[in-house]
């Protein structure tokens, strides 16, 4: 099947397939072609160029993109999209003044989601998550990472990861699975974090690895949760199974998580709402990819990650949704784009780089998705007619997306 997109107003993120991540000043550059075409064959990008030097090849289907922009679909490298129930009652408590930490201390928060998940069937979790994924794909997402972490027991963590495995098989977009057993300390281990870490490392992890259920491991490094020592322990345990880490750290405090993640060869460090000078310096002197989650800052009224300092220091940055029922109940990456521009003061070009090419790198999918490159999957956004890419960020809360293609096809929504 050959599909031809013609008369594209501007085709963004056009790169050689060898370009796998952009950092520092290079993030401000988003290579584009004007008045372009793009040819898709067997679900992959086969070629592209300008209409002026184009002798139209035959295609089974042609899509006239007059006035429209085309760019790679968003690569959302951090989500908790498998969950049993929303937490809208906590939302109301927060409006009335309760803090995230106070809600957690009263058995709410992550433990609330774990309780609901323990009661939910694998089939129900699968169909609810599948519906959410189809919805975020319609909103422009074309590659997704999904974490466990609402299980917090051997049986429930495996249940969550099996759901993610079924989602990978059932849906055509690339999905990466992350084992986040060390997300919170379940009530049966209250006061004995070490005993729970023993269960995560000695019981959950070997089972997860034996069934091949995870691509990455993760841990929530924060006061009242897990500390830098736990990060080191988990990352070396994961390394024995060939699993690299994506680490939640510096959401509320700087707790040594950045340094422990780097020492453990983590792929990404995520959140970073709190970023003192020594943590920034450690980031800059490492290969780890920082991931900002402005949807969490927005919804949870936290400081926004200091993306400008990260980029000014010459570092790369990725942006992700953190879609989860507690701190960021939306996977709408177009809204993340607006937040990144408005609150993180990224230019639209920097933000699009952070949520396409760099987002793909944050899932090690940079050779498959994240740019308009020959041979990559045709996971694409075609926008409504518009005059500039900046409009997509500016027009916040509204969708400028006409179609999302996955392997050149629209998914049923
Ligand atoms: O990334 N910070 C820890 N984990 C999630 C929140 C999970 C929840 O509240 O359910 C996050 O924000
Ligand atoms: Fe998260």
Residue 366 lies in a domain: no
Residue with tokens 């990978």: 168
Nearest alpha carbon to residue 361 among 260, 291, 258: 291
Contact 10, 34 (CB under 8 A): yes
> How confident is the model at residue 106, as a pLDDT?
79
Calculate how far, in angstroms, residue 292's C-alpha sits from the geometric centre of ligand 1. 13
Ligand in nearest proximity to the CA of 79: 2
Residue 227 lies in a domain: yes
Calculate how far, in angstroms, residue 70's C-alpha sits from the geometric centre of ligand 1. 33
My answer on whether 259 and 202 are in the same domain is yes
Atom of ligand 1 nearest to the CA of 328: 12
Does residue 413 have a pLDDT over 80?
no
My answer on whether 231 and 126 are in the same domain is yes
Residue 102: pLDDT band by 50, 70, 90 thresholds?
confident
Contact 358, 26 (CB under 8 A): no
Atom of ligand 1 nearest to the CA of 83: 10
For a ligand 1 pocket test, name from 90, 322, 328 the mutation site with the most ligand atoms within 8 angstroms of its C-beta: 322
Residue 412 lies in a domain: no
Residue 261 lies in a domain: yes
My answer on whether 176 and 283 are in the same domain is yes
Calculate how far, in angstroms, residue 322's C-alpha sits from the geometric centre of ligand 2. 5
Residue with tokens 């400008």: 308
Structure tokens at 404: 């999302």
3-class DSSP string for the chain: CEEEEEEEEEEECECCCCCCCCEHHHHHCCCEEEEEEEEEECCEEEEEEEHHHCCCCCCCEEEECECEEEEECEEECCECCCCCCCCHHHHHHHHCCCCHHHHHHCCCCHHHHHHHHHHCCHHHHHHHHHHHHHHHHHCCEEEEEEECCCCCCHHHHHHHHHHHHHHHHHCCCCEEEEEEEECCCCHHHCCCHHHHHHHHHHHHHHHHHHCCCCCEEEEEECCCCECHHHHHHHHHHHHHCCCEEEEEECCCCCCCHHHHHHHCCCCEEEECCCCCHHHHHHHHCCCCEEEECHHHHHHHCCCCCCHHHHHHCCCECEECCCEECCCECCCCHHHHHHHHHHCCCCCHHHHHHHHCHHHHHCCCCCCCCCCECCCCECCEEEEEECCCCHHHHHCCCCCCEEEEEECCECCCC
CATH label of the domain that carries residue 88: 3.20.20.140
Contact 108, 89 (CB under 8 A): no
Mean pLDDT over all residues of the chain?
Answer: 97
Does residue 100 have a pLDDT over 90?
no
> How confident is the model at residue 55, as a pLDDT?
76
Q: How many domains does the chain have?
A: 2
My answer on whether 256 and 338 are in the same domain is yes
Name the residue at shortest CA distance from atom 5 of ligand 1. Answer: 327
In this structure, the dihedral spanned by the alpha carbons of residues 391, 331, 75 and 9, taken in order and rounded to 10 degrees, is -20
Ligand 1: residues whose CB is within 6 Å?
109-110, 113, 220, 248, 251, 296, 322, 324-328
Does residue 345 have a pLDDT over 80?
yes
Residue 154 lies in a domain: yes
Name the residue at shortest CA distance from atom 6 of ligand 1. Answer: 327
Question: CA distances (Å), 103 to each of 89, 98, 110, 221, 332, in order?
Answer: 11, 7, 9, 18, 25
CATH label of the domain that carries residue 28: 2.30.40.10
Contact 232, 263 (CB under 8 A): yes
The lowest-confidence range among 106-110, 289-293, 327-331 is 106-110
Does residue 104 have a pLDDT over 90?
no
My answer on whether 126 and 237 are in the same domain is yes
Calculate how far, in angstroms, residue 35's C-alpha sits from the geometric centre of ligand 1. 43
Does residue 199 have a pLDDT over 80?
yes
Q: How large is the average pLDDT for residues 185-196?
A: 95
Q: Cβ atoms within 10 A of the Cβ of 85, count?
A: 16
Calculate how far, in angstroms, residue 85's C-alpha sits from the geometric centre of ligand 2. 16
For a ligand 1 pocket test, name from 102, 148, 183, 298 the mutation site with the most ligand atoms within 8 angstroms of its C-beta: 183
Name the residue at shortest CA distance from atom 8 of ligand 1. Answer: 326
Contact 352, 313 (CB under 8 A): no
Does residue 53 have a pLDDT over 90?
no
Calculate how far, in angstroms, residue 331's C-alpha sits from the geometric centre of ligand 2. 12
Calculate how far, in angstroms, residue 325's C-alpha sits from the geometric centre of ligand 1. 8
Residue 367 lies in a domain: no
My answer on whether 286 and 268 are in the same domain is yes
Contact 244, 267 (CB under 8 A): yes
My answer on whether 200 and 298 are in the same domain is yes
Atom of ligand 1 nearest to the CA of 110: 10
Q: pLDDT > 70: what percent of the chain?
A: 100
> How confident is the model at residue 336, as a pLDDT?
99
Q: How large is the average pLDDT for residues 315-319?
A: 98
Name the residue at shortest CA distance from atom 1 of ligand 1. Answer: 322
Does residue 269 have a pLDDT over 90?
yes
Does residue 136 have a pLDDT over 90?
yes
Atom of ligand 1 nearest to the CA of 100: 9
Q: How far apart are CA 378 and CA 392, in angstroms?
A: 21
My answer on whether 208 and 81 are in the same domain is yes
Count Cα atoms within 13 angstroms, Cβ side, for 37: 21
Ligand in nearest proximity to the CA of 78: 2
Q: pLDDT > 90: what percent of the chain?
A: 94
My answer on whether 63 and 164 are in the same domain is no
My answer on whether 40 and 87 are in the same domain is no
Structure tokens at 348: 């639209």
Calculate how far, in angstroms, residue 70's C-alpha sits from the geometric centre of ligand 2. 29
Indicate left, alpha or beta for 370 from its phi (over 0: left) and psi (-120 to 50: alpha).
Answer: left
For a ligand 1 pocket test, name from 248, 297, 304, 320 the mutation site with the most ligand atoms within 8 angstroms of its C-beta: 248
> For 347-399, how does the pLDDT look when each residue is reduced to its tens digit (9 = 90+)?
999 999 999 999 999 999 999 999 999 999 999 999 999 999 999 999 999 99
**Whole domain around residue 159: which residue ranges?**
75-361
My answer on whether 153 and 234 are in the same domain is yes
Calculate how far, in angstroms, residue 254's C-alpha sits from the geometric centre of ligand 2. 16
Does residue 54 have a pLDDT over 70?
no
Residue 410 lies in a domain: no
Residue 9 lies in a domain: yes
Name the residue at shortest CA distance from atom 12 of ligand 1. Answer: 327
Does residue 164 have a pLDDT over 80?
yes
Q: How far apart are CA 98 and CA 76, in angstroms?
A: 29
For a ligand 1 pocket test, name from 324, 325, 328, 329 the mutation site with the most ligand atoms within 8 angstroms of its C-beta: 324
My answer on whether 35 and 135 are in the same domain is no
> How confident is the model at residue 107, as a pLDDT?
77
Calculate how far, in angstroms, residue 183's C-alpha sits from the geometric centre of ligand 2. 9
> How confident is the model at residue 412, as a pLDDT?
84
> How confident is the model at residue 229, as a pLDDT?
98
């Amino acid at each position: 099947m050959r599909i031809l997109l013609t008369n594209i107003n501007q085709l963004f993120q056009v790169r050689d397939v060898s370009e796998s991540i952009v950092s520092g000043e290079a993030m401000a550059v988003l290579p584009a072609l004007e008045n372009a075409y793009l040819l898709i064959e067997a679900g992959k990008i086969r070629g592209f160029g300008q209409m002026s030097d184009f002798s139209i090849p035959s295609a089974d289907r042609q899509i006239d993109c007059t006035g429209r922009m085309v760019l790679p679909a968003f690569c959302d490298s951090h989500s908790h999209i498998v969950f049993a129930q929303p937490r809208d009652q906590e939302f109301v408590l927060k409006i009335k003044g309760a803090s995230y930490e106070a809600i957690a201390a009263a058995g709410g928060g992550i433990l609330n989601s774990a309780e609901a998940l323990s009661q939910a069937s694998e089939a129900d979790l699968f169909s609810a998550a599948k519906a959410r994924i189809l919805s975020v794909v319609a909103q422009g997402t074309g590659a997704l990472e999904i974490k466990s972490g609402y299980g917090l027991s051997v049986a429930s963590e495996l249940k969550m990861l099996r759901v993610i495995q079924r989602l990978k098989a059932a849906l055509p977009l690339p999905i990466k699975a992350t084992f986040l057993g060390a997300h919170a300390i379940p009530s049966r281990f209250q006061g004995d974090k070490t005993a729970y870490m023993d269960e995560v490392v000695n019981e959950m992890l070997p089972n997860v690895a034996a069934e091949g259920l995870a691509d990455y491991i993760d841990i929530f490094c924060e006061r009242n949760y897990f500390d830098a020592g736990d990060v080191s322990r988990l990352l070396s345990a994961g390394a024995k199974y060939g699993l690299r880490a994506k680490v939640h750290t510096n959401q509320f405090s700087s707790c040594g998580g950045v340094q422990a993640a780097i020492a453990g060869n983590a792929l990404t460090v995520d959140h970073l709402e709190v970023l003192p000078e020594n943590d920034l310096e450690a980031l800059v002197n490492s290969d780890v990819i920082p991931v900002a989650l402005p949807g969490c800052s927005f919804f949870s009224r936290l400081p926004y990650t200091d993306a400008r300092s990260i980029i000014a220091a010459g570092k790369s940055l990725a942006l992700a949704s953190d879609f989860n029922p507690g701190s960021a109940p939306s996977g709408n990456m177009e809204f993340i784009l607006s937040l990144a521009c408005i609150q993180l003061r990224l230019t639209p070009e920097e933000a699009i780089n952070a949520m396409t090419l760099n987002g793909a790198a944050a899932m090690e999918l940079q050779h498959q998705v994240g740019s308009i490159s020959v041979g990559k999957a045709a996971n694409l956004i075609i926008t409504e007619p518009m005059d500039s890419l900046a409009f997509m960020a500016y027009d916040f809360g509204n969708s400028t997306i006409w179609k999302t293609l996955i392997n050149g096809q629209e998914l049923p929504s």
